[in-house]
Structure 1
């Protein structure tokens, strides 16, 4: 099976549409979305509709939960809170219902674990080898049958490996062949709001037969998204950061 692993769309329609167009060139069997379909940007209904119509297998992220009232909005920074209040008002009820029924994690076809934040907590961040070590320990205890976990939430591409108790961060390029030794923790980056210094949409292709992982980067019309942010009277910081990739 060839999977596309996407995450953190954040209602950025232009980024999602460009990604869907790119997906048509790489022939995948299934798209897995690691959550945060909505939040921040001005097209929550359109992005949700694409995920639904395309048959993506999706998780709920923390921004999805907040827009649905499933977690405390006060836990978010002021810019995120303002965008989430706007999103909660803008979302159609049918899309809220669809988002509400999404799971927090998935064990996909017995091949890998898919989570939003971390294997042990959907809201936890993994930014370092320490967080990765905790994730590997959880995988070893609770999911001994799998050796790969895809996670999102940080908006930063990452690839951690664990072998014989040693954790290494190995993200250095765009193409990897995973061995059958050790465990892997892999972040595809963000579709809608990158935070690794590279403007554009980022996602992964994973082939479960060859165990090849390809990080893909897709440009899109950032200026159009920025104009829509301004028109919706969302915080302008959200528009500015798209050009910086932070």
Structure 2
């Protein structure tokens, strides 16, 4: 089975459209979005419309939940002051959609007479805005995957993609866990301006006892970065967000 995971679109329509086009070529069996459809750019409603049109199962990100406190109207603030502008662009029906998204999604596979549990979250299973950075101590990550019974833990939020494998096995019996950060479709922070998403391949021989049983591939997609950056500059959003897109930080 080929599963596509994407996250942190952040209202970047050109990036999202490029990823959708690439997904047509990849032909995954399932597509999931790990949240943060909105924020930082000017196309939140168009992004939400495409997510719904394509039937992409989606969980809430911390930016999606911010719309609960910000009404869909444009204020009179200057560019420098109007940090809430991106959320004021979200329409009423789109707000309703965001505020009913689940926080987590859990998938269970039965392979080789053995369960394989996959947990999809935005930040972490503990907090929607927790950063699970690659350099976190292994012991902390082991406690996390054990607490939430996750053989494959997938998340976004930091906008920095990585795949890390850890072993919680004891007494010579291996139990491998996969930690997968999807990176960001619409606002990469790893120095690569291209949109990023993940393909996870699980076959019938996959097992928690094999380190290489789950294959993870990061897909980078070129898109019109300048179009997205100029949209920021032509809006009431801070110009610094355009620089973020052009330099991926």
Pairwise TM-score range, normalised by the shorter structure: 0.7 to 0.9
Matches within 5 A, 1:63-212: 63-69=63-69, 82-83=82-83, 85-110=84-109, 111-130=117-136, 133-143=139-149, 146-164=150-168, 181-209=175-203, 211-212=214-215
Matches within 5 A, 1:207-222: 207-209=201-203, 211-222=214-225
Residue 73 of structure 1 corresponds to none
Distance 1:198 1:212, change over 3 A: same
Task: Please provide the CA RMSD for this pair.
Answer: 2.3
Give the C-alpha shift of residue 122 in structure 1: 1.3
- Pick the structure with more helix per residue: 1
Preserved contact between residue 206 and residue 214 of structure 1 (Cα < 8 Å): yes
Q: Deviations over 1:88-137 (max 9, x none)?
A: 32111111111111011110244410010012211111124436643431
Give the count of matched residue pairs.
Answer: 222
Structure 1, unaligned runs of 5 or more: 71-78, 167-179
Preserved contact between residue 80 and residue 237 of structure 2 (Cα < 8 Å): no
Q: How high is the TM-score relative to the length of structure 1?
A: 0.83
Preserved contact between residue 6 and residue 182 of structure 2 (Cα < 8 Å): yes
3-state secondary structure, aligned to 2:11 = coil
For residues 196 and 8 of structure 1, what CA distance do their matches in structure 2 show?
13
Residue 56 of structure 1 corresponds to 56
Preserved contact between residue 200 and residue 217 of structure 2 (Cα < 8 Å): yes
Structure number with bigger Rg: 2
For residues 165 and 195 of structure 1, what CA distance do their matches in structure 2 show?
33
Q: Deviations over 1:173-220 (max 9, x none)?
A: xxxxxxx84111111210000000101100001122162211100010
3-state secondary structure, aligned to 2:178 = strand
Structure 2, unaligned runs of 5 or more: 71-78, 110-116, 207-213
For residues 126 and 6 of structure 2, what CA distance do their matches in structure 1 show?
20
1:229 equivalent to 2:223? Answer no
Which range moved further: 102-111 or 89-98? 102-111
Which range moved further: 33-42 or 157-166? 157-166
Which range moved further: 9-18 or 219-228? 219-228
Q: How high is the TM-score relative to the length of structure 2?
A: 0.82
Distance 1:35 1:108, change over 3 A: same
